[in-house]
Amino acid sequence: MLEGGEKRLIIIGRKQISSATKKTDTLQMEASGNQIRYSTLFCHAQDTLMTAQSEILIGEHMVRLFQNLAENNKQKNTLESKEG
Protein backbone atom coordinates (compact mmCIF):
# COMPACT_ATOMS: atom_id res chain seq x y z
CA MET A 1 0.00 0.00 0.00
CA LEU A 2 1.29 3.46 -0.83
CA GLU A 3 2.19 5.73 2.07
CA GLY A 4 0.48 9.11 2.33
CA GLY A 5 3.31 11.15 0.81
CA GLU A 6 3.92 8.85 -2.15
CA LYS A 7 0.21 8.55 -2.86
CA ARG A 8 -0.23 12.33 -2.72
CA LEU A 9 2.64 12.92 -5.15
CA ILE A 10 1.27 10.35 -7.59
CA ILE A 11 -2.20 11.93 -7.44
CA ILE A 12 -0.73 15.40 -8.08
CA GLY A 13 1.29 14.07 -11.02
CA ARG A 14 -1.72 12.33 -12.52
CA LYS A 15 -3.84 15.51 -12.21
CA GLN A 16 -1.18 17.56 -13.98
CA ILE A 17 -0.91 15.00 -16.77
CA SER A 18 -4.70 14.81 -17.05
CA SER A 19 -4.80 18.56 -17.47
CA ALA A 20 -2.06 18.48 -20.10
CA THR A 21 -3.68 15.55 -21.92
CA LYS A 22 -6.68 17.73 -22.75
CA LYS A 23 -4.39 19.51 -25.19
CA THR A 24 -4.30 16.35 -27.31
CA ASP A 25 -7.65 17.50 -28.70
CA THR A 26 -5.57 19.23 -31.38
CA LEU A 27 -4.15 15.87 -32.43
CA GLN A 28 -7.62 14.38 -32.57
CA MET A 29 -8.81 17.27 -34.74
CA GLU A 30 -6.01 16.64 -37.20
CA ALA A 31 -6.69 12.90 -37.20
CA SER A 32 -10.30 13.61 -38.13
CA GLY A 33 -9.23 15.57 -41.20
CA ASN A 34 -8.87 19.16 -39.99
CA GLN A 35 -5.65 20.72 -41.26
CA ILE A 36 -3.45 21.86 -38.35
CA ARG A 37 -0.33 23.99 -38.79
CA TYR A 38 2.84 22.16 -37.65
CA SER A 39 4.37 23.56 -34.48
CA THR A 40 7.78 22.51 -33.19
CA LEU A 41 6.79 23.77 -29.74
CA PHE A 42 3.60 21.68 -29.75
CA CYS A 43 5.56 18.62 -30.87
CA HIS A 44 8.04 19.16 -28.03
CA ALA A 45 5.19 19.59 -25.54
CA GLN A 46 3.61 16.29 -26.62
CA ASP A 47 6.97 14.53 -26.28
CA THR A 48 7.45 16.00 -22.81
CA LEU A 49 3.94 14.90 -21.80
CA MET A 50 4.60 11.31 -22.89
CA THR A 51 7.91 11.31 -21.00
CA ALA A 52 6.20 12.57 -17.84
CA GLN A 53 3.52 9.89 -18.14
CA SER A 54 6.20 7.20 -18.45
CA GLU A 55 8.14 8.56 -15.47
CA ILE A 56 5.06 8.54 -13.25
CA LEU A 57 4.21 4.98 -14.29
CA ILE A 58 7.76 3.80 -13.62
CA GLY A 59 7.75 5.61 -10.28
CA GLU A 60 4.50 3.90 -9.23
CA HIS A 61 5.96 0.51 -10.11
CA MET A 62 9.18 1.24 -8.23
CA VAL A 63 7.29 2.32 -5.10
CA ARG A 64 5.30 -0.94 -5.13
CA LEU A 65 8.45 -2.96 -5.82
CA PHE A 66 10.32 -1.48 -2.86
CA GLN A 67 7.30 -1.80 -0.60
CA ASN A 68 7.00 -5.50 -1.50
CA LEU A 69 10.73 -5.97 -0.97
CA ALA A 70 10.54 -4.31 2.45
CA GLU A 71 7.54 -6.44 3.42
CA ASN A 72 9.27 -9.64 2.29
CA ASN A 73 12.41 -8.75 4.26
CA LYS A 74 10.29 -8.01 7.32
CA GLN A 75 8.55 -11.40 7.04
CA LYS A 76 11.88 -13.17 6.49
CA ASN A 77 13.40 -11.53 9.55
CA THR A 78 10.36 -12.45 11.63
CA LEU A 79 10.61 -16.10 10.56
CA GLU A 80 14.34 -16.20 11.21
CA SER A 81 13.95 -14.73 14.70
CA LYS A 82 11.30 -17.35 15.56
CA GLU A 83 13.51 -20.19 14.30
CA GLY A 84 16.71 -18.94 15.90
Q: What is the pLDDT of residues 12-23, one digit of tens each?
A: 777 777 766 666
pTM of the model: 0.56
CA 14, CA 9: separation in Å to the nearest integer?
9
Domain that holds residue 10: 4-83
CA 56, CA 39: separation in Å to the nearest integer?
26
Q: What is the mean pLDDT of each run of 10 residues along the chain (84 residues)?
A: 70 71 72 84 86 91 94 90 80
At 49, the amino acid letter reads: L
- Number of Cβ within 10 Å of residue 16's Cβ equals 13
| Structural domain total, the chain | 1
Which is it for the CA torsion 43, 45, 48, 52, positive or negative?
negative
